[in-house]
Chain A
Amino acid sequence: MSDTPVLFNPRGPHNPAGLLNTSRGQVEVLIPTFNEAAVIRDTVQNALAIGPVFVLDSCSTDGTQQIAKDAGATVVEQPFLGYARQKNWGLENLPFAGKWVFILDADERITPQLRAEILRAANDPGSADGYFVNRVVIFMGSPIRHGGLYPSWNLRFFKRGMCRYEDRSVHEHMVCDGPTAFLRHEMLHIRGESVHEWVRKHIRYADLESDEWVKLKFGQEAGASAERLFTKTLKYRQYLRREVWPRTPLKPLLRFFYMYVVRMGVLDGRAGLHMATMMSVYEYIIELLYRDKLDRIRTGVLKRP
């Protein structure tokens, strides 16, 4: 790593509201990226308002690295190891100097209210070791506040060294060794990509997810064991998702019904309808790829995991 961390200037040009920041570089931000040229400039600028930014890039081919550097981030390249492993690698190997780390995705933004809350928590001696942050999806020009997508609590802000991701190739979760708490304000998850891009990403996720199902089918445990998961609610939900769901019939229809009716996605208007339909199609692709992989394993064209 030839890059040295950029010293954080709380009143620098990237932090117009520098007065809010009293943490003196205690908080650092980790942004994992791959081909995010379209948004990374805004993400880095948004993140610089809470502390120095490290962009952990999986060898983008669209110039993400340079844009991030120009925006004021320290950029480190590391070939992609999987969603969980990549971030764990970053947590272990990036030259962090502060006490706290915030993990931000390239399509997420920290609101001014959340920023104030983060900086306050970082300076509070009695604070928890990890904080869950709520995330609101912005899609088709509306915030999505129903359909089971909200609230969405993610452990993203924590004392360095206290948390790491469990090893799973997609839909990874974080495990924390100390006490956790919840931040009140939200961050934004901007689904600003084109439908084409959205679909392309989800075909890829479906490929990974169906691989996990195949592994389960052949008795390989995916990810961390239940004991290491950190809350009862989550343990229960993980069990449902990993053990029960792959064996359930009519998944795409159930997924739609659940999001649109049970979790009242209908209240989000047209955005809610399309969100539910798109997720239902996503569910369908996972299902088909899973069956297809099992078929090809049976005929010997594909190897058993």
Chain B
Amino acid sequence: MPQPPDTILDQAPTSGQLPVRHPAGLRLPISVVILTYNEESNIRDCIASCDWCDDVHVLDSGSKDQTVAIALAQGATVHQNKFKSFGDQRNWAIDNIPCKHPWHFHLDADERFSPALLDEMLDLIGPDGRKSACAAFQCPSKMIFMGRWLKWSGGYPTYQVRLFKHGQCRFVDFGHGQREDTTGQVGVLATPYIHYNFSKGLLEWFYKHNDYSTREANEALLIRRGGRPTLGQLVSGEAVAKRRAWKNMSYFLKGRAIWRFLYNYILRLGLLDGWSGLRYCAMLGSYEYWTELKIKEQADAWGPTTAALVEKMLAEPATTSSPRPATNTGDARP
């Protein structure tokens, strides 16, 4: 039996997000599109932060939880499309969702608007959406970790294109996510949206970074075969090439974990983020430690050495009637 909408909303998980509106109560010529898959723990707060918007669309890819029910109960329009990749899903939204407004904002379920961001956007694009010559905007985000914005240790600001004019911007897949594909001018927003990267728990982060470190170690092994970068490559040339040379150099260094920790905690001032900063920097250190260990594992051939030792220890004694004495003698006790 379907539950009435208010019951669904009452039971939906929330961290107490208050409805977000423009400081002066103004409407913006922006439609919001939220991509979801099993986001029942996030969606209620996410849509609450879109309270200022009269055109909220949820593009779901077959959630098995209450995501769709909660979104509908909050008055969002829900669409379904099978997920292939982020780039593909965003383009599907651009092509198939009948948005009311000329500007679209692609917000993820673990992200939130703030009144200050609405104020800046309205300022830039104007109430009719015609003020800006830009086709799209790079948007910074605040990474929230254990209840605190990682202003320093999180490498703030990092940007993604999320706000764009319909028909002037598309997306292509890139790395783990997507990148904008536009011929128009791209502006930059100063006010960040809020990103609860860890809203589903830290467990995912560790599993993911275990995978990332394996990939990075494999890359490092290839690079190490090519030899160290020369001093010339490190100090001269284009900025991108120079950065790559330094990155390649790092694969020859010992103590990656400690360097990474010191870089983010001291040099990038992660220490100003308090306990959360320390914890996050130590997480980055663990990640680098795994990378280094995985490089060593291949370079030093641990697998074959272990197998050879085991074979030796399991070898049958020379004569079956008198077993070889064990390494530990006498009455063993813990």
Residues of A bordering B, CB below 8 Å = 16-17, 19-20, 46, 109, 111-113, 116, 132, 134, 138-143, 151, 153, 182, 184-186, 188, 190-192, 194-196, 199-200, 203, 206-207, 233, 252, 274, 277-278, 281, 284-285, 288-289, 291-293, 295-296, 299-302
Contact = CB atoms under 8 A, between A and B. Distances in A.
Contacts, number: 129
Given A139-B306, A141-B309, A184-B326, A288 B316 contact: no
A113 B326 contact: yes
A39 B41 CA distance: 40
B323 A113 contact: yes
16 contacts: A109-B314, A113-B323, A132-B334, A134-B332, A138-B309, A138-B310, A141-B309, A153-B334, A184-B332, A190-B306, A195-B290, A199-B290, A233-B334, A292-B146, A300-B13, A300-B15
B210 interface: yes
Nearest to A288: B202
Top-5 shortest CB links A-B: A141-B305, A299-B15, A153-B334, A199-B210, A292-B202
B141 to A, nearest CB: 20
Contacts of B279: 288
A196 B294 contact: yes
Contacts of A289: 201-203
Contacts of B202: 288-289, 292
B306 A191 contact: yes
B146 A151 contact: no
B196 to A, nearest CB: 10
B206 A203 contact: yes
A33 to B, nearest CB: 19
Contact of A17 (B14, B316, B334): B316
A111 B328 CA distance: 14
B16 interface: yes
Chain B contact patch, size range: 35 or more
A295 B146 contact: yes
B203 A203 contact: yes
B293 interface: yes
Given A138-B309, A196-B214, A295-B146, A186 B328 contact: yes
B307 A192 contact: yes
Nearest to B282: A284
Chain B CB within 10 Å — which of A16, A141, A143, A252 has the most? Answer: A141
A151 B314 contact: no
Contact of B306 (A112, A140, A195): A140
Nearest to B42: A301
Contacts of A191: 306
A136 B314 CA distance: 13
B201 A185 contact: no
Contacts of B317: 112-113
Contacts of A292: 146, 198, 201-202
B297 interface: yes
Contacts of B326: 113, 184-186
B238 interface: no
Contacts of A46: 314
A71 B197 CA distance: 47
Nearest to A277: B289
A203 B206 CA distance: 7
Contact of B320 (A17, A142, A192): A17
Contacts of B329: 184
Contact of B146 (A233, A277, A291): A291
B260 to A, nearest CB: 13
A196 B210 CA distance: 6
Contacts of B333: 182
B289 to A, nearest CB: 6
A289 B286 CA distance: 14
A277 B281 CA distance: 16
A126 B307 CA distance: 38
Given A199-B290, A203-B203, A295-B146, A151 B332 contact: yes
